[in-house]
Amino acid sequence: MAAVIAAVALAGCAGKDKKPRLAYEERPVELLYATGADRLDRGLWGQAVQYFEEVERQHPYSEWARRAILMTAYAHYMGNDYPEAIADAERFISLYPGNPAAAYAHYLKAICYFEQIVDVGRDQGATGQALNALQEVAQRYPNTEYAADARLKIDMVNDQLAGKEMTVGRWYLRNGDTLAAVGRFKTVVDRYQTTSHTPEALYRLVEAYLTLGLGEEARRNGAVLGHNYPGDIWYRDAYNLLTDKGLQPATAKPSGGFMPRIPLPWGKRKETTVRPPAVTEAAPPPAAAPVQAAEAAPAAPVEAAPAAPAQATPAAEAPAAPAEPAAEGSAQ
């Protein structure tokens, strides 16, 4: 009976492995690599992985095997198999840490985490991992195209993390836990002050402090909001809230032409990814496709000013304009 159970279990495991395997046939390394690159260009990610893995298996000590690791990682990424792509990138980094292509391996690992970011209502574990990996790319390789794209995405990741803090803070505020809500909103103002959530966080602080009866704290945060975001709709709401309580956040009334409360678009993230570095030796693979334009970074507002004294009249400043998207170059 034990033998029968073991046989059934093995049959079940075999049934789950639907990935076909290439029959072993010794072939020139250039042919294997070129075939894998062809499958990659045709969007046949699974077949591309098999040919690149065959390059490593049949010619483990060749230069082509080193390149095949990166191409396998890229094929896994394009096939949405992020754990495998991350494992391939980490294997390349551990085997060839000083290789120029290690910059791409670090970048691809960061992009895999970035692609797994979920909405702010769910756990943001991948968001934190994406932030750490993107910061590592920007610090290690500051003058590369990978770092330029990483810096844009760091702003987007910070905006996502700030959005998570705002979601939790609003929940606390709705449920009467005002002090916990204040802590979340202050985190946004202190740690993520260049994100699109800062104006609302300042307004929510005004709202929370008024609920707690701390009028001076509410007035001070309203003054900071009016100084940095005079044309924002959140300042209009905060101004009305404070004046209804007999408090004056600033001498200047809110200006017209309010900035709308529109969430930042994420778009199609895979269009920003750079292809693996091109091969320069004999028998190169097919040329890489042009790199798509990088996503636009979220607007970087002026940092929140220090708390204004009661008698001060904060000057109105125009909100900062959104940063122009940095276009990446074409891969070689």
Q: What is the 3-state secondary structure (H, E, C) of 225-243?
A: HHHHCCCEHHHHHHHHHHH
Cβ-Cβ contacts under 8 Å for 67 (sequence gap 6 or more): 33, 101, 276, 279
Statement to judge: residues 67 and 92 lie in one domain: yes
* Neighbouring C-alpha atoms within 13 Å toward the C-beta of 20: 7
pLDDT, residue 254, reads: 65
**CATH number of the domain within which 219 lies:** 1.25.40.10
Report residue 141's pLDDT band, with 50, 70 and 90 as the boundaries.
very high
**The token pair that represents 162 in the structure block:** 């700030």
pLDDT, residue 263, reads: 45
| DSSP per-residue codes, 38-83 | HHHHTT-HHHHHHHHHHHHHH-TTSHHHHHHHHHHHHHHHHTT-HH
pLDDT > 50? residue 299 = no
Q: Look at the alpha carbons of 265, 113, 152, 273 in this order and tell me if their dihedral is positive or negative.
A: negative
Statement to judge: residues 89 and 200 lie in one domain: no
pLDDT > 60? residue 319 = no
Statement to judge: residues 178 and 146 lie in one domain: no
Statement to judge: residues 62 and 121 lie in one domain: yes
Enclosing domain of residue 56 = 26-158
| DSSP per-residue codes, 20-41 | --PPP----HHHHHHHHHHHHH
Average pLDDT in the 154-182 region?
91
Average pLDDT in the 239-268 region?
63
Of 198-202, 250-254, 256-260, 289-293, the one with minimum mean pLDDT is 289-293
The DSSP 8-state label assigned to residue 259 in this structure reads: B
Of 181-190, 235-244, 297-306, 311-320, the one with minimum mean pLDDT is 311-320
CB 227 within 8 A of CB 314: yes
The tally of domains found in the chain comes to 2
Average pLDDT in the 269-287 region?
52
- For residue 316, being part of any structural domain is answered with no
- For residue 262, being part of any structural domain is answered with no
pLDDT, residue 77, reads: 94
Report residue 118's pLDDT band, with 50, 70 and 90 as the boundaries.
confident
CB-count burial class (<10 Å; 0-12, 13-18, 19+) for 218 = buried
Report residue 231's pLDDT band, with 50, 70 and 90 as the boundaries.
confident
- The structure tokens 């994100």 sit at 195
Report residue 25's pLDDT band, with 50, 70 and 90 as the boundaries.
low
The DSSP 8-state label assigned to residue 99 in this structure reads: S
Its pTM stands at 0.64
pLDDT, residue 248, reads: 76
Domain closes at, from 185, 218, 244: 244
pLDDT, residue 63, reads: 86
Other Cβ atoms within 10 Å of 4 Cβ, number: 8
Rounded Cα distance, 138 and 151, in Å: 6
CA distance from start to end of the chain: 60
Statement to judge: residues 64 and 123 lie in one domain: yes
Distances (CA, A) of 50 to 24, 44, 223: 11, 10, 61
- The structure tokens 């109105």 sit at 316
pLDDT, residue 298, reads: 38
